Amino acid sequence: MRNPRFTLRTLSLALLSSSALWLAGCGSSVKLDDQANKGPAPIATANGADAANGANNSSVPSNAVAPIVVSPSDDAANASGLARVVYFDFDSFVVKDEFRGAIDAHARRLNAVKTRKVLIEGHTDERGGREYNLALGQKRAEAVQKSLTLLGVSADQIESVSFGKERPAVQGSTEEAWAQNRRAEIKDR
């Protein structure tokens, strides 16, 4: 008769090994955190200059897209002209300096009423794979979330979600359309 302990241990080891191999096969090669590991990311101004040293940054479009009001259901925010969209550069999740004022205004609004909650939706343009864009959209939503929490907003008031390239604001395959789709939207819940 076989030792039942030996058989159970062997079976457990085999199951653990196959699970590890299966999970390794599901791994992602998305390397969005590389940007965060290089130290603080540069803050770009609307004209494409690097705010730290005044150098021109060619990855920042010179025709920056102005923020627009997206959520017509929030009358208080609309009445004050509070921007609801933060736009990002291509393949970036760095919150640009031009959107700091809008984030500050949202932080003041959320800190004034601690029961108010927001949902931050991260979006990307159509370029890139689905998995990569979902990860990038999440990083964009979390960048806005982190900016709000650094301004004193409770993490319980904020939820971040990514839609990747699945919900474009503008249809089309032009730089203008892509620029409007690379965004994070702040919506009341």
Residue 82: CA atoms inside 13 Å, Cβ hemisphere, count? 23
CATH 3.50.50.100 fits 28-188, yes or no: no
Give the model confidence (pLDDT) of 28-40 as tens digits. Answer: 455 555 444 444 4
> Cβ distance 56 to 50 under 8 Å?
yes
Q: Which helix (H) or strand (E) holds 102?
A: helix 100-112
For residue 86, the cross-strand partners are 184
Look at residue 64 in the predicted model and tell me its pLDDT.
45
> Cβ distance 183 to 87 under 8 Å?
yes
Ranges under pLDDT 70 in the chain: 1-80
Look at residue 49 in the predicted model and tell me its pLDDT.
43
Look at residue 82 in the predicted model and tell me its pLDDT.
85
CA gap 90, 124 in Å, rounded: 9
Q: Parse the chain into domains and list their residue ranges.
A: 28-188
Look at residue 8 in the predicted model and tell me its pLDDT.
61
Q: Is 156 strand, coil or helix?
A: helix
CA gap 67, 189 in Å, rounded: 20
Look at residue 182 in the predicted model and tell me its pLDDT.
97
Give the model confidence (pLDDT) of 152-164 as tens digits. Answer: 999 999 999 999 9
